[in-house]
């Protein structure tokens, strides 16, 4: 077993079965996400309608189907027959066909198809489009921390659905999980076509933030919690289908079990479909900040333009802060997030080859001198980068600013929010913790932004690398993160320090481990690793 694979297995265990994460996570997320399994069941199925009989709830149907359609959960044969979803099905089918064609061209000696008889086992599209499956609400996440994208909408609210086999097993007490490796995220504007609050005044970002923060203090759980969330004064009171902006899909397109010729590998397909309100359909769209590496490396003019755009001091500062929005002409409409990607630079990483020194065979877009010169220009205008302080830091940000690079980092497989499984009476360990260390480690930053919005101050939307939360108020952040796997505890990502301080990369030298732990590199060339007991 390779060293990178060993570390990946340890990380998966940390994400899915380490009890401390469930305890710590529960303390971090309430008020910024809904993860209570019985509350999600009520929000999806609306089994208690006495409070508001007219309220449809948050099953998938009202968000994608015409108004006035049946109230029952929508099965996938009906879902993908809807005119609004026809482009989604066409685009997914096209990605599957291209994936198989690339595989056969690059790995002609390895079979690919549905079932265990193949070297590469494909996702079963027949089940995706079948009446034997449906998307079940797995979580609701407040992303008002993304208001820098469109301040007028106050950020986003994300309804996350997990693909699940449909059938009588929902009512069987000892039913095991019927979930399948795919999520569908419906992204809504946090402040869209809202009705006025009492008094005729339109709801504000401050009020939306206040409601979410207040919900963290509520004592209700389960269905009662869900009902209060939707009731007058609750954070979900005004969330409605008119606010839908887009759909994001993430599915495990194929996996290869460990064999004599390879370690195991899993590929996840990521796509985005933006809602066209005039045509009433979800159309394939470029993915935010998903750099189209192959196209940029193949087109010298495009590469030149991309370099000039990103290295402009103002753009570079946004890139460092994690708030950059790369123009669509440089972006892809699909991405494959391969896991495990490892800690060393490789073809599996989305930005591999764009920066000099990674070992790629094609000429890089950014030379080391380009990055050094950009850092010097930023310093000349009086800005001190918070994250990118070296060529290696620049390369790491290029990867983690993308959708696929972020999903490769500190995730549960290829997901950051698989959600708790409320359909099985005895869910497996993999579904006890609703989200990844990356998700939980980012909650304090998100809550800080919510508080800033609530009190009318200017939020700091910056974020650190996906692997390591960015500290702002050290005492506040460390009060919840210190000693945990989200920051510097067992299993946290870290940087192996050199005895000579000058040899430590300035982008990562603060990535230390808590007392009693030592950083153990997980690759052959990278000094990035994980915190383990020092005597190991």
What is the arithmetic mean of pLDDT over 27-48?
A: 86
Q: pLDDT value at position 522?
A: 86
- Residues facing 415 on adjacent strands: 412
CB 399 within 8 A of CB 140: no
Burial class of 474 by CB neighbour count within 10 A (0 to 12, 13 to 18, 19+): exposed
The beta strand positions in 144-216, using DSSP E, are 156-165, 179-189
CB 496 within 8 A of CB 381: no
As given in the structure block, the two tokens for residue 94 are 């096209």
Give yes or no for residue 7 having a pLDDT over 50.
Answer: no
Burial class of 500 by CB neighbour count within 10 A (0 to 12, 13 to 18, 19+): exposed
Q: pLDDT value at position 20?
A: 43
What is the arithmetic mean of pLDDT over 207-221?
A: 95
Q: How confident is the model at residue 262 (pLDDT cuts 50, 70, 90)?
A: confident
Q: Which has more confidence, 405 or 478?
A: 405
Q: What percent of the chain has pLDDT over 70?
A: 87
Q: How confident is the model at residue 5 (pLDDT cuts 50, 70, 90)?
A: very low
As given in the structure block, the two tokens for residue 376 are 């010097």
What is the arithmetic mean of pLDDT over 434-459?
A: 92
Q: How confident is the model at residue 18 (pLDDT cuts 50, 70, 90)?
A: very low
Q: How confident is the model at residue 9 (pLDDT cuts 50, 70, 90)?
A: very low
What is the arithmetic mean of pLDDT over 151-164?
A: 96
365 CB-side CA count, 13 A = 29
Quick one: CA torsion of 24, 138, 443, 217, rounded to 10 degrees? Answer: -70
Q: pLDDT value at position 51?
A: 61
Q: pLDDT value at position 4?
A: 44
Give yes or no for residue 69 having a pLDDT over 80.
Answer: no
What is the arithmetic mean of pLDDT over 414-423?
A: 87
- Residues 523 and 297: their CA atoms lie apart, in Å, by 26
Buried b or exposed e, range 386-417, using 16+ CB within 10 angstroms: bbbbbbbbbbbbbbbbbbbbbbbbbbbbbbbb
Q: Which residue's structure tokens are 């407040």?
A: 142
Query: Which of 127-131, 437-441, 476-480, 491-495 has the least mean pLDDT?
Result: 476-480
What is the arithmetic mean of pLDDT over 497-522?
A: 94
Compute the mean pLDDT over every residue in the chain, rounded to the nearest whole number. Answer: 88
Give yes or no for residue 432 having a pLDDT over 70.
Answer: no
What is the arithmetic mean of pLDDT over 108-132?
A: 95
What is the arithmetic mean of pLDDT over 161-169?
A: 81
- Residues facing 518 on adjacent strands: 532
Q: Which has more confidence, 194 or 469?
A: 469
Q: pLDDT value at position 57?
A: 87
Instruction: Please give the angle made by the CA atoms of 318, 323 and 325, to the nearest 5 degrees.
Output: 90
Q: pLDDT value at position 112?
A: 96
Q: How far are the Cα atoms of 89, 283, 399 from residue 130, in angstroms, in the given order?
A: 12, 22, 36
Give yes or no for residue 3 having a pLDDT over 50.
Answer: no
Q: pLDDT value at position 194?
A: 72
- Residues 195 and 333: their CA atoms lie apart, in Å, by 34
374-382's contacts with Cβ under 8 Å and 24+ in sequence apart are: 374/311, 374/313, 374/316, 377/313, 377/316, 378/313, 378/316, 378/317, 378/320, 381/313
Cβ neighbours of residue 484 closer than 8 Å, sequence gap 6 or more: 20, 24, 492
Q: pLDDT value at position 193?
A: 74
**Per-residue pLDDT tens over the stretch 370-402:** 999 999 999 999 999 999 999 999 999 999 999
Q: How confident is the model at residue 175 (pLDDT cuts 50, 70, 90)?
A: low
What is the arithmetic mean of pLDDT over 474-481?
A: 68
Highest mean pLDDT (candidates 245-254, 444-453, 517-526): 245-254
Q: pLDDT value at position 420?
A: 82
Give yes or no for residue 196 having a pLDDT over 80.
Answer: no
Give yes or no for residue 17 having a pLDDT over 50.
Answer: no
**Per-residue pLDDT tens over the stretch 266-294:** 999 999 999 999 999 999 999 999 999 99
Burial class of 87 by CB neighbour count within 10 A (0 to 12, 13 to 18, 19+): middle
Asked if the bond preceding 500 is cis, omega within 30° of 0, the reply is no
Q: pLDDT value at position 260?
A: 82
Q: pLDDT value at position 421?
A: 86
Q: pLDDT value at position 510?
A: 93
**Could you tell me the pTM of the whole model?**
0.91
In the chain the first and final C-alpha atoms are separated, in Å, by: 18
Burial class of 66 by CB neighbour count within 10 A (0 to 12, 13 to 18, 19+): exposed
Q: pLDDT value at position 19?
A: 37
Spell out the alpha helix ranges (H) of 408-535: 437-441, 443-455, 474-481
- Residues 92 and 76: their CA atoms lie apart, in Å, by 14
Q: Rounded to a whole number, what is the largest CA-CA distance in the chain?
A: 70
**Count of C-beta atoms within a 10 Å radius of residue 536:** 7
Q: pLDDT value at position 303?
A: 98
Q: How confident is the model at residue 10 (pLDDT cuts 50, 70, 90)?
A: very low
Q: Which has more confidence, 212 or 196?
A: 212
């Amino acid at each position: 077993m390779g060293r990178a694979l060993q570390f990946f297995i340890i990380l998966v265990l940390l994400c899915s079965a380490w009890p401390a994460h469930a305890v710590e996570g529960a303390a971090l997320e309430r008020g910024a996400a809904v993860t209570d399994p019985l509350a999600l069941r009520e929000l999806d199925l609306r089994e208690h309608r006495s409070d508001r009989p007219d309220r449809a709830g948050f099953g998938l149907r009202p968000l994608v189907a015409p108004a006035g359609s049946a109230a029952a959960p929508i099965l996938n044969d009906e879902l993908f027959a809807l005119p609004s979803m026809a482009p989604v099905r066409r685009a997914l089918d096209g990605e599957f066909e291209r994936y198989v064609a690339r595989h056969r061209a690059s790995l002609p000696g390895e079979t690919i198809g549905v079932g265990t008889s193949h070297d590469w086992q494909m996702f079963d599209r027949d089940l995706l489009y079948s009446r034997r499956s449906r998307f079940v609400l797995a979580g609701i996440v407040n992303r008002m921390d993304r208001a820098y994208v469109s301040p007028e909408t106050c950020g986003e609210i994300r309804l996350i659905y997990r693909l699940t086999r449909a059938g009588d097993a929902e009512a069987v007490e000892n039913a095991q999980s019927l979930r399948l490796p795919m999520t569908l995220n419906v992204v809504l504007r946090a402040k869209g076509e809202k009705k006025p609050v009492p008094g005729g005044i339109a709801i504000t970002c401050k009020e939306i933030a206040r409601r979410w923060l207040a919900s963290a203090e509520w004592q209700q759980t389960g269905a009662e919690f869900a009902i209060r969330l939707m009731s007058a004064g609750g954070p979900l009171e005004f969330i409605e289908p008119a606010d839908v902006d887009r759909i994001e899909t993430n599915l495990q397109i194929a996996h290869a079990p460990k064999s004599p010729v390879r370690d195991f590998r899993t590929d996840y397909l990521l796509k985005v479909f933006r809602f066209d309100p005039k045509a009433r359909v979800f159309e394939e769209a470029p993915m935010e900040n998903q750099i189209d590496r192959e196209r940029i490396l193949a087109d010298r003019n495009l590469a030149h333009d991309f370099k000039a755009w990103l290295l402009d001091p103002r753009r570079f500062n946004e890139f460092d802060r994690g708030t950059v929005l790369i123009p669509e002409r440089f972006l892809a409409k699909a991405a494959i997030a391969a896991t495990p990607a490892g800690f060393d630079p490789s073809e599996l990483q989305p930005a591999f080859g764009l920066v000099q020194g990674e070992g790629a065979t094609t000429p890089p877009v950014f030379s080391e001198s380009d990055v050094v010169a950009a850092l010097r220009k930023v310093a000349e205008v009086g800005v001190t980068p918070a994250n990118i302080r070296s060529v290696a830091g620049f390369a790491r940000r290029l990867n983690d600013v993308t959708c696929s690079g972020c999903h490769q980092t500190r995730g549960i497989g290829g997901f950051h929010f698989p959600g708790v499984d409320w359909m099985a009476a005895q869910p497996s360990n993999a579904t006890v913790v609703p989200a990844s260390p990356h998700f939980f480690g980012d909650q304090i930053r998100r809550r800080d932004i919510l508080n800033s919005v609530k009190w009318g101050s200017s939020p700091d939307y910056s974020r650190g690398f996906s692997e390591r939360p960015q500290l702002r108020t050290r005492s506040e952040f460390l009060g919840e993160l210190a000693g945990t796997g989200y920051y510097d505890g067992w299993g946290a990502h870290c940087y192996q320090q050199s005895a000579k301080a000058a040899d430590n990369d300035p982008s990562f030298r603060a990535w230390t481990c808590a007392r009693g732990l030592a950083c153990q590199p997980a690759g052959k060339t990278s000094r990035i690793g994980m915190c383990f007991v020092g005597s190991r």
